[in-house]
Amino acid sequence: MTLIDGFTETAASARPRSAATRIWNVVRLHLVDRRTYIGIPWLIVGMAFIVTVFIAQIIGFTTGGLGTADAIEGQRYSWAVMSPQWYLVVVGVQAISFGFPLALGYGVTRRDFYLGTALLFVLISAGNAIAFAVLTQLEQVTEGWWIDTYMFNALWLGLEGFWVDLFSFFVMQLLVFFVGASVATIYMRWRMPGMLVFWSSLVLLIVATVTVITFTSNWIPVSVWFGAQGIAGIFGWLLIPAAIAGVGGFLALRRATPKN
Amino acid sequence: MIGTASPVVRVDGLTKRYGKVTAIDDVSFSVHANKIYGLLGRNGAGKTTIMQLLTGQQFATSGTVQVFGESPVENARVLQQVCFIKESQKYPDSFRADHVLASAPWFFANWDAAFADRLIEDFRLPLNRPIKKLSRGQLSAVGVIVGLASRAPLTFFDEPYLGLDAVARQIFYDRLLEDYTEHPRTVILSTHLIDEVSSLLEHVLVVDEGRILMDQDADDLRGSASTVVGKRTDVDAFVAGRDIISRDGIGGLASVTVTGLTESEQHVARAAGLELSPVSLQQLIVQCTTSRAGAGTGTADFRGSGRTDTTSRTIGAETDNTSKTDAWSTRA
């Protein structure tokens, strides 16, 4: 550093921070309001549980008793365990739509912001996966919290043991965050035209896939293929769209600009 | 240019186009360390775009921007030294002011928590109310507090006082000046309230229609024009052959603003029974930008040959009447 450079930066020059510190600070920025990622999702889980208890009692009353195999099987169709996900996909959107302009205002680079946001998603997904997998086990051990009420042993959870629950929930949670974030990133980068292209391409892709499978009479092989994958296999495949959303979001955000 | 140090900001041939709209048109200027700059201009002149280009928030179409000697785009070394407070800053929906003030120190290494606390009291900012529910002025106070307490070596304030009352604005100016004196840094302030900040500014950059119209030392600029008032015949005789910025008159009286009068010339004018009054920075800039719009000339001098009636109205007797109002919004 030359003398002139030293003078330019003056006494006011700020001590530079390492990349790891900068990225971690983005994680902290997202978590400075703990309600967003922790408080409200668990409040929703709590509310869903109370509702589930009531519904379980209704099922018990109409079917002539909880704790029967039929009643337990019936509760498996409940989506209560997924109730925070509708909120969390919005959180994924807002992580970008609110977080990005704020982080840029704080002098954060797009790269640091995205890496910090992705790290946050991974950490929260891991935390949620552990919590839900453990709650699923506890629910089995306590035989439905001692009142034959099953909320966490629902859909695919609780069928193939702790590790499959842990892995599948982790992937599902990552997918929810990154899908929300990447849609917001497309908007941040290309605004309304980007949204139109994205959503119409997505609809066309789905319709085309259904058309091709139908016209080639392949629905049975497709369902057989899905059946053969098992729960862990299907969620393994879902890592692909999660990764596409994650990497695609990064590439799109590198040239995005905040709205005025 | 002043000083031997290399400039904090160096902009060369900077152009920014949005589709067919040219927001910034081949702009070049430098910003030197530890001065307060005024970035002035009408709405839509390109002030915010320039600030966004300097902070890497927008990408230049062509030209170069160097901040602390490097491109600011995606450059953590540069951006860590920069704080950009804009009037339109968005915050997460659920945020309260205390969330902003808790997180800002993680991003600004020079953050002074005691100073921030003092500013919170000065501005009477409610910390526990959701930002969505804050008044426009309180929202501006959040930005002002972050901008001041961050003590970033290069601080941008983009119209930071929207909705702030006169007392709060004065607090902002006072605190900025006090803290700037103790902790010298480079400040770039865009504002409509030119006369209010006039004494604060050391250098003025005037932007109009994406171009730099004026790039001058504020003291030089303040002394660069005077208004001559008197009998029309006397005034006309005195100003003949001079650079006239604007002209106004009622009956037999005339009031003409001209550039650059020397001591002796001022003496001559007084001897001829003419009254001389200084022209405020705000009036100068208003005349400069409106006459340009009227005349459609591209020059950066003060020749207001194409001035309109609206131009003339602000000059003359009401030297200070307009000073506490928005320079342009009153001129719809």
DSSP B19-45: TTEEEEEEEEEEE-TT-EEEEEE-TTS
Contacts of A7 in chain B (CB under 8 A): 4-5, 33
CB contact (8 A) between residue B151 and residue A111: no
Tell me which residue has tokens 């304030």.
B157
CB contact (8 A) between residue B153 and residue A7: no
Q: How far apart are CA B80 and CA B72, in angstroms?
A: 10
CB contact (8 A) between residue B99 and residue A104: no
Position A4 in a domain: no
CB contact (8 A) between residue B90 and residue A99: no
Contacts of A250 in chain B (CB under 8 A): none
Residue from A1, A43, A106 to probe the interface with B (highest B Cβ count within 10 Å): A106
- ipTM reported for the complex, 2 dp: 0.88
Distance in Å, alpha carbon of B266 to nearest chain A alpha carbon: 41
Residues of chain A whose C-beta is under 8 A from some C-beta in B?
4-5, 7-17, 19, 22, 25, 28-29, 32-33, 35-36, 94, 98-99, 101-102, 104-112, 254-255, 257-260
Residue from A1, A3, A4, A13 to probe the interface with B (highest B Cβ count within 10 Å): A13
Average pLDDT over residues A145-170: 95
What is the structure's pLDDT at B291?
A: 64
What is the structure's pLDDT at A259?
A: 76
What is the structure's pLDDT at B292?
A: 55
Position A3 in a domain: no
Q: How far apart are CA B170 and CA B280, in angstroms?
A: 19
Average pLDDT over residues B276-301: 67
Q: How far apart are CA B192 and CA B39, in angstroms?
A: 9
What is the structure's pLDDT at A15?
A: 79
Write down the mean pLDDT value for chain B: 85
Q: How far apart are CA B182 and CA A255, in angstroms?
A: 38
Position A183 in a domain: yes
Average pLDDT over residues A126-150: 96
Facing A14 at nearest CB: one of B75, B99, B108: B108
Distance in Å, alpha carbon of A164 to nearest chain B alpha carbon: 35
Residue from A30, A108, A109 to probe the interface with B (highest B Cβ count within 10 Å): A109
Q: How far apart are CA A16 and CA A187, in angstroms?
A: 32
- Helix or strand holding residue A248 (H, E): helix A219-253
CB contact (8 A) between residue A107 and residue B108: yes
pLDDT, greater one: A66 or B120? B120
| pLDDT tens, residue by residue, B214-223 | 999 998 888 7
Confidence of residue A6 (pLDDT cuts 50, 70, 90): very low
Q: CA angle B37-A11-B72, nearest 5°?
A: 55
Confidence of residue B177 (pLDDT cuts 50, 70, 90): very high
Contacts of A101 (CB under 8 A, 6+ apart): A258, A259, B89, B90
Window from A70-84, A167-181, B149-163, B286-300 with minimum mean pLDDT: B286-300
Average pLDDT over residues A146-168: 95
Q: How far apart are CA A97 and CA A258, in angstroms?
A: 9
- Whether the per-residue pLDDT at A64 is higher than 60: the answer is yes
Average pLDDT over residues B190-194: 88
What is the structure's pLDDT at B239?
A: 87
Average pLDDT over residues B283-300: 61
Select the CATH number that applies to the domain covering B9-218 from these four: 3.40.50.10140, 1.10.760.10, 3.40.50.2300, 3.40.50.300.
3.40.50.300
CB contact (8 A) between residue A12 and residue B88: no
Percent of chain B with pLDDT over 70: 86
Query: In chain B, where are the structural domains located?
Result: 9-218, 223-331
What is the structure's pLDDT at B322?
A: 39
Angle at which helix B113-123 crosses helix B166-182, to 10 degrees, equals: 160
What is the structure's pLDDT at A260?
A: 60
**Residue A47 belongs to what domain range?**
18-253
| pLDDT tens, residue by residue, B17-51 | 999 999 999 999 999 999 999 999 988 899 999 99
What is the structure's pLDDT at A30?
A: 97
CB contact (8 A) between residue A98 and residue B92: yes
CB contact (8 A) between residue A33 and residue B84: no
Phi-psi sector, B29: left (phi>0), alpha (psi -120 to 50), beta: beta
Nearest CA in chain B to A28: B103
CB contact (8 A) between residue A102 and residue B151: no
Q: How many domains does chain A have?
A: 1
| pLDDT tens, residue by residue, B131-165 | 999 999 999 999 999 999 999 999 999 999 888 99
